[in-house]
Amino acid sequence: MKHCRLSFLLLFSVISNTARCQLPPDYSNLLFNLGRPEMTRQEADEIISEARAQPDLRKELSAKLPNLLETSTDRLVIITEARMAGELQIAAAATALAKLLDRRDTQLFMPSTMTSRYLLAEDPVGKALADIGEPALPALEASLGKC
């Protein structure tokens, strides 16, 4: 009986300590489709929402998105990644985004209005750079200086 009570106390102590020392979250399931054409808008929205609440996830995206933007060849992947970088204001992606400004295939082709042009609704890459704001200026200057 004493042995069972001691085992129970030890088990309770281990569980209690484990709860206090939580491991960093594993985002591999959430980021599984990152950089793939299979990523849905709903998945991208979920990543954006989670990254706003989880600094570790935002940091991981800051490390991954620039390279994905530079190496992706799929138009929809680039548009999704640009939207994520812009909405999360990931300054590390500004250089990669600035390099994509000349690519017409990253534009959305839809009937446009003066308002949609002003909001950059047809240009996800340009909108992402605008959303990033001032931290994107050096990348834009470098890109425009090559013109």
* 3 state SS for 89-130: CCHHHHHHHHHCCCCHHHCCCCCCCHHHHHCCCCCHHHHHHH
With cut-offs at 50, 70 and 90, classify the pLDDT of residue 140: confident
Whether 13 is in a domain gets the answer: no
CA pair distance 134, 95, nearest whole angstrom:
13
Instruction: Report, as an integer, the average pLDDT of 94-117.
Output: 66
Task: Please give the backbone phi and psi of residue 47, each rounded to the nearest 5 degrees, phi first.
Answer: -65, -45
Whether 8 is in a domain gets the answer: no
Query: Is pLDDT at 23 greater than 90 in this prediction?
Result: no
Whether 119 is in a domain gets the answer: yes
Of 127 and 63, the structure prediction assigns the larger pLDDT to 63
Mean pLDDT computed over every residue of the chain: 78
Whether 94 is in a domain gets the answer: yes
With cut-offs at 50, 70 and 90, classify the pLDDT of residue 10: very low
What residue numbers bound the domain in which 101 lies? Answer: 37-145
pLDDT of residue 111: 52
Query: Is pLDDT at 5 greater than 70 in this prediction?
Result: no
CA pair distance 145, 147, nearest whole angstrom:
6
Whether 28 is in a domain gets the answer: no
Instruction: Report, as an integer, the average pLDDT of 12-18.
Output: 46
Side chain identity, residue 115? T
Whether 109 is in a domain gets the answer: yes
User: Is 64:34 a contact under the CB 8 Å cutoff?
Assistant: yes
Whether 113 is in a domain gets the answer: yes
What is the domain count for the chain?
1
Whether 17 is in a domain gets the answer: no
CA pair distance 128, 123, nearest whole angstrom:
9
Kind plus residue range of the DSSP H or E element containing 137: helix 137-145
User: Is 136:129 a contact under the CB 8 Å cutoff?
Assistant: yes
Side chain identity, residue 135? P
Of 13 and 99, the structure prediction assigns the larger pLDDT to 99
Q: Is the pTM of this model over 0.85?
A: no
Query: Is pLDDT at 117 greater than 60 in this prediction?
Result: no
- The predicted-structure confidence for 44-83, as pLDDT tens digits, reads as follows 999 999 999 999 999 999 999 999 999 998 989 999 999 9
User: Is 57:51 a contact under the CB 8 Å cutoff?
Assistant: yes
Q: Say what percent of the chain tops pLDDT 90.
A: 45
